[in-house]
């Protein structure tokens, strides 16, 4: 039986910032394109994958759909950040992307490419501009989100660097001053400023701005429904039952939230958090109890064959530079509320994974030693997902590391095993096997010194749907390549 797990694309593929769209009988995911073990964000050209709407287990590689070198401002601007695609009133497909230079102190422009099909290849059309030819430069021209609202094409974009919390003020000031050539005082005293989510309408040519940029969220979040989940980046708009849902990444970074309004450009109210790539907030989970190392998050929701899904990304390596797409089914209640969902290993599988055969260890949705961080942590010893010499595995598993998978379907008597090896310090210990994060061990796997990949297995009797957790107790450090059942 064909199965799919998180991440749902091939394990050597890194497509974060996923924007899912159903065109015809297929769903297409457009996103940035990180390099495995990359040195900065978005090093590769755009590719896309698609799947039949009635079978989200069969993802097809559509190939390279657009290259940075197609833009006339390349190589001065060469980093293509998160894109989005909208079907125009002429039936063609328009790819919007933010092109940046001089990473990390970037300035941005918004470009458009077009194609007759959603799978590419897209051809450069133009830069988003005003009628007099001036490039759109109001706000941070970043993270486009498009909506064709009964023939009206709207472009949403923006970013908000917070000077007061969660980010280093000096770094924020440096980036703002470099980008906008303004002081902190000038930025904060501006009537609209340059920070926040903005919307413009586009002319029928799809590149010319028809209406002035309009901020859709409050200028000051204090005392509003957004407080604690203020807008940061990752604009994305959906229209559901005549209500507008704006999906975005908050100041927290790791969470995707939504706001709703009866209008496309005003009166938005905070709705809630849809997903956190560390499960923070899910069933009251606190920041210090994150289940995975967290980092920036970006994605959106889509209705596929009658069901709603959230597409988001997770972080691998010890940086934020190799991000992989994941997805979960969500519910939109009758009152319009979207409950936060947990991150899982089974994702788009439409049910738990079968407790049969062999699985890559890196499909875990819980990887923690109780000392995780946000963002880059290259100087710390932490369990993490890595690719070395073509093999992808979990590295630096030390005492008290917990590795979890949700969910498996067990059929009774079974053997459970791991393929592991010693890391830089010879280990001596055991892996406890549990069905709850802090549960009672059902059995254990003894771990001994083995510099080559070795397999250990033990008996396990379980029935039905369960989480599966491994907790390492012992000295030294191990890597795990696979988990297996028979």
Taking phi over 0 as left and psi of -120 to 50 as alpha, with beta for the rest, 464 belongs to left
Distance CA 196, CA 215 (A): 7
Instruction: Characterize the bridge pairing of strands 152-159 and 145-149.
Output: antiparallel
Chain Cα centroid distance, residue 436:
26
**Beta-sheet pairing, 443-447 with 79-87:** unpaired
* Measured distance CA(122)–CA(38) in Å, rounded: 25
Residues facing 460 on adjacent strands: 414
205 is catalytic: no
Do 198 and 156 form a contact (C-beta atoms < 8 A)?
yes
Catalytic residue among 17, 19, 71, 143: 17
Closest of 15, 129, 131 to residue 73, by C-alpha: 129
301-328: b or e for each residue (b if 16 or more CB lie within 10 Å)? bbebeeebbbbbbbbbbbbbbbbbbbbb
CB 403 within 8 A of CB 364: yes
- Whether 58 is a known active-site residue: answer no
Among residues 19, 34, 233, 302, the one annotated as catalytic is 233
Where in the sequence numbering do the catalytic residues fall? 17, 233
């Amino acid at each position: 039986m064909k199965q799919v797990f998180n991440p749902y694309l091939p394990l050597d593929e890194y497509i974060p910032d996923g924007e899912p769209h159903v065109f015809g009988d297929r769903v297409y995911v457009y996103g940035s394109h990180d390099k495995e073990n990359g040195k900065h964000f978005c090093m590769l050209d755009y590719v896309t994958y698609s799947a039949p709407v009635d079978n989200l287990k069969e993802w097809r590689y559509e190939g390279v759909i657009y290259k940075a070198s197609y833009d006339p401002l390349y190589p001065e601007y060469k980093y293509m950040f998160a894109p989005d695609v909208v079907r125009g009133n002429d039936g063609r497909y328009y790819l919007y992307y933010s092109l940046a230079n001089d990473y990390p102190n970037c300035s941005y422009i918004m470009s458009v490419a077009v194609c007759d099909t959603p799978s590419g290849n897209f051809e450069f059309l133009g830069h988003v501009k005003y009628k007099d030819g001036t490039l759109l430069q109001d706000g941070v021209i970043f993270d486009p989100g498009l909506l064709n609202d009964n023939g009206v094409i709207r472009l949403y974009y923006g970013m908000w660097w917070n000077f007061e919390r969660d980010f280093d003020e000096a770094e924020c000031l440096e980036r703002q001053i470099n980008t906008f050539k303004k002081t902190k005082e000038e930025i904060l005293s501006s009537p609209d400023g340059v920070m926040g989510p903005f919307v413009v309408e586009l002319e029928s040519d799809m590149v010319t701005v028809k209406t002035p940029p309009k901020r859709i969220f409050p200028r000051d979040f204090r005392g509003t429904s957004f407080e604690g989940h203020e807008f940061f980046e990752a604009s994305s708009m959906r229209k559901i039952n005549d209500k507008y849902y704006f999906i975005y990444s908050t100041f927290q970074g790791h969470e995707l939230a939504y706001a709703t309004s009866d209008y496309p450009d005003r009166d938005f109210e905070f709705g809630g958090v849809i997903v956190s790539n560390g499960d923070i907030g899910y069933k009251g989970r606190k920041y210090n109890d994150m289940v995975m190392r967290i980092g920036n998050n970006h994605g959106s929701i889509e209705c596929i064959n009658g069901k709603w899904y959230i597409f988001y990304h997770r972080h691998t390596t010890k940086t934020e530079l190799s991000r992989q797409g994941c997805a979960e089914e969500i519910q939109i209640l009758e009152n319009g509320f979207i409950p936060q969902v947990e991150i899982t290993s089974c994702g788009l599988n439409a049910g738990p994974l079968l407790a049969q055969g062999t699985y890559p260890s890196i499909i875990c949705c819980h990887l923690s030693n109780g000392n995780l961080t946000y963002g880059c942590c290259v100087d710390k010893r932490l369990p993490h997902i890595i690719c070395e010499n073509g093999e992808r595995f979990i590295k630096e598993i030390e005492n008290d590391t917990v590795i979890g998978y949700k969910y498996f379907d067990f059929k009774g008597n079974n053997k459970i095993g791991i393929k592991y090896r010693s890391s830089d310090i010879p280990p001596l210990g055991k892996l406890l096997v549990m069905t709850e994060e802090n549960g009672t061990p059902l059995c254990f796997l003894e771990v001994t010194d083995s510099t080559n990949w070795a397999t250990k297995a033990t008996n396990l009797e379980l029935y039905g749907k369960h989480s599966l957790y491994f907790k390492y107790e012992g000295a030294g450090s191990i890597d795990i390549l696979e988990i297996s059942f028979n």
